[in-house]
Structure 1
Amino acid sequence: MLLGATRIRPFALGKFLQRSFPAVMSAYSAVAASTKPAPNGSVMGRPTHHTITSLKRWSCGEADLPAVSDIKAIHIYDFDNTLFASPMPNKAIWNGPSLGQLAHPEIFVNGGWWHDSSILAATGEGIEKEEPRAWKGWWNEDIVKLVELSMQQKDALNVLLTGRSEHGFSELVKRIVKSRHLEFDMVCLKPAIGPANQKFVSTMAFKQELLKEIVYTYTEAEDLRIYEDRVKHTKGFRDFFFQFNKDLMEGALPTSRKPFTTEVVQVAENATILDPVTEVAVIQKMCNEHNILVKTRQAPPSAHPLQIKKTVFYTGYMIPSSMTEKLTSLVKLPQSGSYSDIRYLANSILITPKPCPKSILDKVGGMGAKVVWKVTGVSCFENKLWAARVEPVPPTTRYYSENPTPTIVLAIRKGGKPADATRITNWHPVSNEQAHVFETVVGEKLLLRIEHETANENQYESQFPNRQHGKRNRDDGDTNGNYHSASHNRPRDREHDDKRPTGPSHNYRGGNRDRGRGNRGGHGPRGGRGGRGGGPSGRGRGRNGGGPSQYKSLDDVGDNRSYGQPNYDDPNSFY
């Protein structure tokens, strides 16, 4: 669906604004191409003429351009997430800083997410399978229909415009478009150097320079439409053509071209994700290629070898999503009050709020071990936290938890702490219908991160964003929680009561605030859910999952510690 279509009519502002507010401009004005045409004398020593022949040098397509007199309208289509559902980095896989690193072109010697063609080629099930079926399901069908209408409109110049590099993506983009039988008069990707030796400081500068050449060449076009999903680019185009038409109306440009109507259409972002396994494999390949260039001294001196590491927020008995809805139905909210700040969880039973040492993992059967549980009671703590008490089935099953009682945090209100579940002393029994029995799998809640390789760092240490976490390196004898063997269900290291410990040595869940501090980690949803495929076995097709667009650089990555994001600065945020 197309959103926010805005029609911009040319009109002039008074000279007062121009004299009094020269510094007022959009964020793109500083880097945008001038609206004035390049003089016929030279641009960097080369003659410039606004002809069909010179304009064709901007296009990677083979089609001949129509005559100037034949064109009355110009239609510009963006490629990524406007026409084609290009995959974006998965927030459920990478932490916040790593998402910024992937988007930045200078972190990897061979370019980042938007500069490595292997990522776009991996869309869906890969180019070999997707090309014969024209990448079915990976198009914005509304925009496809508009492109087809533009193809039928004989007096319209049909242009595909993308900021992807001409060198790395021209052939792949043309193959994708051709598979869908879409035809454009011009297929324009960003060149390293423009036809007149221009150098572009940004994608917007490139696009504005090309658009200027198009409107100066097709002087009889009266209508220009641009379809774009990026909000900043939409604003940049509107600002650019506002100034362009203003200059035309005031006679500030050495041309007889008449002002024209511009419509910049804000398109709803059509972002998708790769299959998670494929995504990690592609990024690992990027890291490997980067590291080879660094170690063979073919990279800038500032480049360092990179490594994919994991940040483990907690280890637990992971509850399947099919059971989560049933468990959250046990939450009894008060009849009055606001519910907007309540977050439903019911996704795990805690083992350790950190990477689990091998000694404990061995005792619970290792990653992937299955344990069956039964709900025995529910409770609410200070109207901020709702929890369920569980026991293994059969009761003699071996399990481990750093909580004194195996507990599921069902829901939490903003300001509540998952650690408060250990303070619950009054549990209410449940009916037979509410005594749900379900199977769990030992697993980790984690995100991946991209960091410099660290010498002499073992696997356990690498799971912490800050090495001070890893220096402790818990050995096989460090079990400060509650281990329950098959012979008895009594806690091994402390008394089984619900009283809060008086000292940090008890290592209650969330009770030890002296636990090491380190870098924050982002928190994505449990899985890469999407409209098509979702998990690792599917095609990986999914919407962006809400939130702002991921078209970001490292400059956009700030301290985004939003509600519900686990981070190592808050020991209560591992859920």
Structure 2
Amino acid sequence: MASAFSVVRGAANTGSYSAAAGASNGPDSSHFTLTALSRWSILNKQLPPVDKIRVLHIYDFDNTLFKTPTPNPSLWLGQTIGSLANPDIFANGGWWHDNRILAATGEGVEKEEPRAWKGWWNEKIVELVRLSMKQPDALTVLLTGRSEQNFSQLIKRIVDSKGLEFDMIGLKPKVSPTNQRFQSTMHFKQLFINAMLETYVNAEDLRIYEDRPKHTKGFREFLAEYNRRQAIAPTRGPVAAEVIQVAELSTNLDPVVEVAEIQHMINHHNSLVANDPTKSALRIKKTVFFTSYMIKPEDSQKLMKLAQVPQGKRGHDLIYHGNNILICPRPCPPKIQEKVGGMGNKMLWEATGIACYQDRIWAVRMRPIPPEAKYHTENPVPLVVMALRRGARPIDAAKIEKWEGIPPHESFTIETTVGEKVVLRIESDDPKEDEYESQFPYKHSKRKHVSDDDWTPGNRQFPRQSTRGYHTRRAGRGHPTRGGNRGAGRGGRGRGGRAGYHNYRSLDDVEVDNQQGSHSQMDYDDAYPSLGQKPGRNRGGGNQGKYRGGGQNQGGQPPNAQDLQNYY
């Protein structure tokens, strides 16, 4: 973070201070004029006279004044969210440097401009701006680190549509009016504020409205240093400064629009790096966490009532599920996809029993309609895990042996759709990678599925070491297999044996943390929420999605999540 001293020293190095001006004399006032200050603004308007201004009001744009869309954590893998914010990943700068992302806010510029982007403003800050506009001795400034070249016209249109009038609108140019390059967005803003303070020397009060704690801290340190230096080598006297932390009000684009705009951004990047061997082309890939018969929300509520799940506090006592019948973890192999009828295939199910296992797992047993219908489930008996006590594992629902039958008048039928729990990620485009391989974000986590048709006792593929974490449980008496029944009529137990030799890790597997002694659990729904839901919080002190063989953070925010707005 550049200090006030570095700002002054940087300005001196670029000629903003006269060569003869020493520490005691301060800067050459001839370099701080209204004309010089106006070069920092994209507005073509005359600034108020110096002797008329007593207070300075500075407003940040993104998520302070305007509800700026940020990458949707329900759409993207955590690592990709960091990449979208990093200008070094994309040749065209990424999320905060591509004006099409901001232009896509709401229903797009053409529809939003006539209605002044209704619903996309922090109305409390808008009210403060209007009060500043009415105050005759106030200089009202909009200051953002957005690129002057890419965003000047768009931000002016957004502000004008709301009827907001600023004396200055400062966006980050490539270099300052004195030809100085910026080390960061904060460095740019410090230089801007320094020029404003040295020009409006009669201003006694300064207020800055900012949403990011990192920038709030930076402004406070800068202004404290500025006032300290004024006591040593005064140029205009100290200023009563206040930096107001504004609650962030970020939002998301429509998911379809967001993916489309990111694809445009990737296409542009790929065209720019096509002839550069040092740069990689990028591609959107999907990460599949599991494939299931997905249940509609209204049917999930009916099942929840049927299962007699106690009402606990979500995320504290009970973890609620009830929205799928698991087909298989991770991407579904082609032969299993064919068996279940392909993605989007509809199927009817009837609830036939309920159970509570050790007061920790609540489940509903299901039966296909008609009973002879062809299906595939991960568990020996088709079931819906409705709720888990904290620390319980969905995999343990397969241990349920005693089911309470449902009276005919209470039973009902639901319709499911074959689908995947998916998030997207952006990676280098690998022409050698087929579509199935592209669904695995980390090479070491890829698994080869041994299909039922290919299984023989000779291809069990037992792991060499137990630390690799494969399921090797032998089917047989006293050892229920995972996925032992592959569509055998009414959901009774299958022939056994085959499912016991799949070489893959389940999302249900947990790892005991050697240091904490706690479990890191992969939770189907909380770790990777559906669109419109907030990502779940880490459970048990571990990283969600942490596998015994890897320890990669698979979703939500990365462990050391970057400030998404660091780079604009």
Q: TM-score, normalised by structure 2?
A: 0.80
* Separation in structure 2 between the aligned mates of residue 112 and residue 208 of structure 1, nearest angstrom: 24
Task: Name the structure 1 match of 2:480.
Answer: none
Q: Is the CA contact (8 Å cut-off) linking 1:364 and 1:399 kept in structure 2?
A: yes
> 1:395 Cα shift?
2.7
Residue in 2 that maps onto 1:397? 373
- Name the CA shift for 1:35/1:506 in 2 (closer, same or farther; >3 Å): closer
Q: Structure 1 residues 467 and 335, CA, compared in 2 at 3 Å: closer, same or farther?
A: closer
Residue 232 (structure 2) aligned to one of 220, 230, 252: 252
1:168 to 116, 138, 150: 150
Partner of 1:482: 485
Q: 1:438 aligns to what? A: 414
Which of structures 1 and 2 has the larger relative contact order (alpha carbons within 8 angstroms, sep 6+)?
1
Matched with 2:116 is 134
Structure 1 regions of 5+ residues with no counterpart? Answer: 1-27, 515-519, 531-544, 549-558
Aligned residue for 1:408?
384
Q: Partners in 2 of 1:335 and 1:491 — Cα distance?
A: 32
Q: Give distance in 1, aligned partners of 2:109 and 2:82.
A: 26
Question: Match for residue 536 of structure 1?
Answer: none
Deviation track 1:69-91 (CA, whole Å, cap 9, x = no partner) reads: 11111111111111111110000
CA contact (8 A) 1:115 1:164 kept: yes
Helix, strand or coil: the match of 2:376?
Answer: strand
Aligned equivalents of 1:129 and 1:464: distance in 2?
39
Q: Which residue of 2 aligns with 1:494?
A: 496
Classify 1:254/1:94 alpha carbon distance in 2 versus 1 (closer, same or farther; 3 Å).
same
Query: After alignment, is 275-284 or 384-393 more displaced?
Result: 384-393
**Cα separation, 2, equivalents of 1:571 and 1:504:** 21
User: Once the two structures are superposed, what CA deviation does each residue of 1:132-152 show, in whole Å capped at 9, x if it has no partner?
Assistant: 221111111111111111111
Cα deviation digits, residues 347-378 of structure 1 (max 9, x gap): 21101112112222222221111222233222
2:57–2:138 Cα contact (<8 Å) kept: yes
The answer to whether the 8 Å contact 1:170/1:189 transfers is yes
Partner Cα separation in structure 2 for residue 103 and residue 213 of structure 1: 29
The offset of 1:161, in angstroms, is: 0.7
- Pair 150,286 (structure 1): closer, same or farther in 2 beyond 3 Å: same
Indicate how the Cα distance of structure 1 residues 175 and 512 shifts in structure 2: closer, same or farther if over 3 A, else same.
closer
Pick from 246, 261, 273: which aligns with 1:267?
Answer: 246
Structure 1 position 474, deviation (Å): 6.0
Match of 1:384 in 2: 360
Match of 2:85 in 1: 103
CA contact (8 A) 1:37 1:216 kept: no
> Cα deviations across residues 249-278 of structure 1 (Å, max 9, x unaligned)?
xx22341x2322222111111111111111
C-alpha contact 1:504 1:511 (8 A) present in aligned 2: no
Residues 407 and 126 of structure 1: is their aligned pair in 2 closer, same or farther, counting only changes over 3 Å?
Answer: same
SS across alignment from 1:55? helix
Q: Do 1:358 and 1:476's aligned partners in 2 also have CA atoms closer than 8 Å?
A: no
Aligned mate of 1:526, from 513, 529, 532: 529
Q: Does 1:307 align with 2:283?
A: yes
Q: What secondary structure is seen at the aligned counterpart in 2 of 1:399?
A: coil
Matches of 2:191 and 2:319, distance apart in 1? 48
**TM-score of the superposed pair, with normalisation by structure 1:** 0.79
Asked if 1:286 is matched to 2:259, the reply is: no
Matched-pair contact (CA < 8 Å) for 2:16–2:31? no
**CA contact under 8 A between 1:82 and 1:269: conserved in structure 2?**
yes
Question: What CA distance in whole angstroms lies between the structure 2 residues aligned with 1:141 and 1:41?
Answer: 40
Of 545, 548, 557, which aligns to 1:566? 545
Classify the secondary structure of the residue corresponding to 1:409.
Answer: strand
Quickly say closer, same or farther: Cα 1:94–1:143, change in 2 above 3 A: same
Given the superposition, is the C-alpha separation of residues 477 and 59 from structure 1 closer, same or farther in structure 2, using an over 3 Å criterion?
Answer: farther
Partner of 1:90: 72
User: Counterpart of 1:401 in 2: which secondary structure?
Assistant: coil
SS in 2 for 1:106: coil
Deviations 1:283-312 (A, max 9, x none): 111111111222222xxx542111111111
Distance verdict in 2 for CA 1:511–1:562, change over 3 Å:
closer
Paired residue for 2:129, among 147, 153, 157? 147
| Contact kept? 2:132, 2:138, Cα under 8 Å | yes
Partner of 1:215: 197
Helix, strand or coil: the match of 1:114?
A: helix
Do the aligned residues in 2 keep the contact of 1:33 with 1:205 (CA within 8 Å)?
Answer: no
Give ranges in structure 2 of 5+ residues lacking alignment. 20-27, 456-482, 512-521, 556-568
> Are the equivalent residues in 2 in contact too, given 1:460–1:470 (CA < 8 A)?
no
Structure-2 separation of matches of 1:509 and 1:453: 27
Instruction: Indicate conservation of the 8 Å contact 2:78/2:554, yes or no.
Output: no
Cα distance in 2 for residues equivalent to 1:345 and 1:338? 11
Q: Which amino acid aligns with 2:371?
A: P
Bigger mean CA deviation after superposition, 278-287 or 379-388: 379-388
User: What is the number of equivalent residue pairs in this alignment?
Assistant: 507
CA contact (8 A) 1:159 1:187 kept: yes
Instruction: Tell me how far 1:565 sits from its aligned partner.
Output: 3.3
Question: Cα distance 1:312–1:149, how it changes in 2: closer, same or farther (>3 A)?
Answer: same
> For the residues of structure 2 that align with 1:110 and 1:90, how far apart are their CA atoms?
20
8 Å contact from structure 2 (residues 2, 187) kept in 1: no
Query: How far, CA to CA, are the matches of 1:447 and 1:211 in structure 2?
Result: 42
Q: Is the partner of 2:67 in helix, strand or coil?
A: coil
How far is 1:231 from its partner? 1.2
Q: Deviations over 1:518-555 (max 9, x none)?
A: xx99976533317xxxxxxxxxxxxxx4799xxxxxxx
The CA distance in 1 between the partners of 2:313 and 2:200, in whole Å, is 62
> Contact 2:4–2:226 (CA<8 Å) still a contact in 1?
no
- Number of the residue aligned with 1:203: 185
In structure 1, C-alpha distance between the alignment counterparts of 2:443 and 2:254, rounded to whole Å: 31
1:180 is the counterpart of 2:162: yes
Structure 1 position 101, deviation (Å): 0.3
**One of 105, 117, 135 as aligned partner of 1:123:** 105
SS of 1:310 mapped into structure 2:
strand
Counterparts of 1:222-233 in structure 2, within 5 Å, are 222-233=204-215
Q: 1:32-51: CA deviations, max 9, x gaps?
A: 85367945992499987111
